[in-house]
Amino acid sequence: MLNNPAPVIYQNMMRAMQNEQENTKPVVERGGLLGPKKSMATKNTSALNEPANRVMEYMKAIQAKRQELKDNGNS
């Protein structure tokens, strides 16, 4: 019986973050008149509407802070 779901949820979220980083492709700018504007191309509102994606963003922010702390401690 699973008593504590925290490790499973955390690891799934970490895996999703890694997959997201691997799957994100750089936006190619097109110079044509009819090409989409840069702001429109990078805007991805539907992804941020998902709570899990927002949680991922919060995790990234805190992880960056932890990494910063570690780097400062090592140097």
Binding site for another protein (CB under 8 A): 4-7, 9-11, 13, 51-52, 54-55, 58-59, 62-63, 65-66, 69-70, 73
- d(Cα 44, Cα 54) in Å, to the nearest integer? 12
Nearer to another protein among residue 21 and residue 39 (C-beta): 21
- d(Cα 21, Cα 64) in Å, to the nearest integer? 15
- d(Cα 6, Cα 24) in Å, to the nearest integer? 27
Nearer to another protein among residue 30 and residue 65 (C-beta): 65
Instruction: Compute the least distance from the CB of residue 37 to another protein, in Å.
Output: 29
Nearer to another protein among residue 39 and residue 75 (C-beta): 75
Residue type, 43: K
Place of tokens 């750089």: 26
